[in-house]
Structure formats: structure tokens, C-alpha cells
């Protein structure tokens, strides 16, 4: 097939079918595992934290990608946690915990929403979306304290999706970051449309620990509400240097 015919075929396939052909692998931001293989070929996560696990979507995804890894999933809302445990009984490498992670220990109110994925410790005014008006008191711990009490010395992949509370989750693990005990961070960030734009603070905080932003995933854009958010992948510079 000649070059011009190939290009026309690609254009037709995209326009008519919605499929794309990539000659040298997918662009960064489409496939997390492929991106990690490309950016850090020797990196195979053995310990994964799923903070803000909801009903187990990410647990299922990560268990399929890395079946040998130990996955620790944290979900503080009682009913959502029950759904999480009901959805993951066959995932023998997934351990679930009914607790929130933050920058402090104790108990705190979590604000519930019609959609369980929108529950947040940040309060109902932190998001332009509608909350149910209900709250629930949940147990809160820090990443550092929880790891220390459970004998976890390092985290290969830290996933955080806590509806605007994400930077506080990172700050609760500051000693782990200082020791270089975390290799990769996959985290939700808010860029606009929210009272608190979390992206700048997360970017700056992780940069102090030599993490580099390498890809942006799962972008959500709601034009009518001026909402833009998605997941960012940060890799420690040591991991990139070993590539």
C-alpha cells in the first residue's frame, strides 16, 4: 500500500469508524500500562494503593493489568465500601479498607452525593456539582501512619481520586515521599470549573520530591459548566533515569 493510499485509509477509518492507527505505539495518555512500559520499561508495580476506590472500578483494572501486585483499596463511605467488597471477592490480590486517607488522623464528615463517586471530605461547596445534603462520619488516617502500622515500606503506584482532597492525601504521606518510597502517582486533578483548582498545587508539591508529570488521562470537559478535570501520571525522576 502506497503512502498516500495508507494516509487516506487512516483518515477514512477515523472519520467513518472512529478508529485510529498508530505506527509506533499509542500516544501518551491513552493506555497507562503501555505508557509505563514505554517510559520506565523495568517498572512493574508490586504494591499499589487505590485511594478513593469507590465500588472497585480501578481495583478490577489494576488487578487485570498487574495480577502479581498487592492492591490496597481505600473507601470511607459505608455503603460504597460494602459495594466495593461485594464487587471484588474473586480478586485475591485486592485488600479493602473502610477508611479515608488525608493529612490528619481521627474522624471527619464526608459529604455525600447522588453519585457515589462524588463524595468528598472537602465540603459541598468544593464542586459545581449537586450534593445530596447528607453527611457521614468516617475514620481518617494519614498515608504515613497507615503504612507504618501495616508494615508497608514502599508504594510502587499510588492512585488517588478523592474529589478535591487529593493533595491532602499526598501530604499525609510526606515522610514516604521524602524517603523516596513512592515511585509513581496516578491522581485526579481539577483544572477549572471547581472552587479549588487542584492541579497547580499537586504539580508544585510533587515537583519538590522530584516527580515529573508525564501524561494526562481520562479528560472530562463539560463546556456548559466550564468543568475540566482528569487523571495525571507523575513518575519519580529516578524511575525515568533508569529507563
Q: Report how far residue 57's alpha carbon sits from residue 146's, in angstroms, rounded to the nearest whole number.
A: 23
* Separation CA 225–CA 243 (nearest Å): 41
Question: What are the start-end ranges of the H helices in the chain?
Answer: 3-12, 32-39, 57-65, 78-87, 143-149, 166-171, 174-178, 198-207, 237-241
pTM to 2 decimal places: 0.89
CA–CA dist 28, 146 (Å, integer): 33
Domain ranges of the chain: 1-29, 31-101+142-241
Q: What is the pLDDT of residue 6?
A: 47
pLDDT, position 228: 85
User: 138: Cβ–Cβ under 8 A, 6 or more apart, which residues?
Assistant: 76, 77, 99, 100, 107, 108, 109, 110, 121
List of the chain residues with pLDDT < 70: 1-25, 124-130, 243
Contacts of 151 (CB under 8 A, 6+ apart): none
In CATH, 31-101+142-241 is 3.40.50.150: yes
Interatomic CA distance for residues 138 and 109, integer angstroms: 6
Cell of 59: 481495583
pLDDT, position 108:
96
Amino acid at each position: 500500500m502506497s503512502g498516500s493510499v495508507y494516509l487516506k485509509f487512516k483518515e477514512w477509518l477515523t472519520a467513518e469508524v472512529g478508529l485510529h492507527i498508530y505506527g509506533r505505539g499509542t500516544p501518551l495518555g491513552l493506555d497507562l500500562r503501555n505508557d509505563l512500559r514505554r517510559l520506565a520499561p523495568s517498572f512493574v508495580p508490586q504494591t499499589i494503593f487505590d485511594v478513593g476506590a469507590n465500588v472497585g472500578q480501578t481495583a478490577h483494572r489494576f488487578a487485570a493489568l498487574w495480577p502479581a501486585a498487592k492492591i490496597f483499596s481505600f473507601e470511607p463511605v459505608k455503603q460504597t465500601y460494602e459495594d466495593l467488597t461485594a464487587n471484588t471477592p474473586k480478586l485475591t490480590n485486592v485488600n479493602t479498607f473502610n477508611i479515608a486517607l488525608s493529612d490528619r488522623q481521627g474522624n471527619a464528615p464526608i459529604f455525600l452525593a447522588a453519585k457515589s463517586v462524588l463524595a468528598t471530605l472537602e465540603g459541598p461547596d468544593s464542586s459545581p456539582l449537586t450534593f445530596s445534603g447528607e453527611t457521614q462520619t468516617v475514620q481518617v488516617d494519614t498515608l504515613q501512619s497507615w503504612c507504618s502500622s501495616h508494615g508497608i515500606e514502599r508504594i510502587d503506584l499510588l492512585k488517588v481520586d478523592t474529589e478535591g482532597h487529593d493533595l491532602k492525601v499526598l501530604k499525609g504521606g510526606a515522610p514516604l515521599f521524602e524517603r523516596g518510597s513512592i515511585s509513581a502517582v496516578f491522581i485526579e486533578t481539577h483544572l477549572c470549573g471547581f472552587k479549588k483548582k487542584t492541579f497547580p498545587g499537586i504539580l508544585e508539591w510533587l515537583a519538590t520530591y522530584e516527580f515529573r508529570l508525564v501524561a494526562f488521562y481520562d479528560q472530562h470537559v463539560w463546556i456548559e459548566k466550564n468543568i475540566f478535570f482528569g487523571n495525571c501520571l507523575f513518575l519519580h525522576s529516578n524511575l525515568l533515569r533508569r529507563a
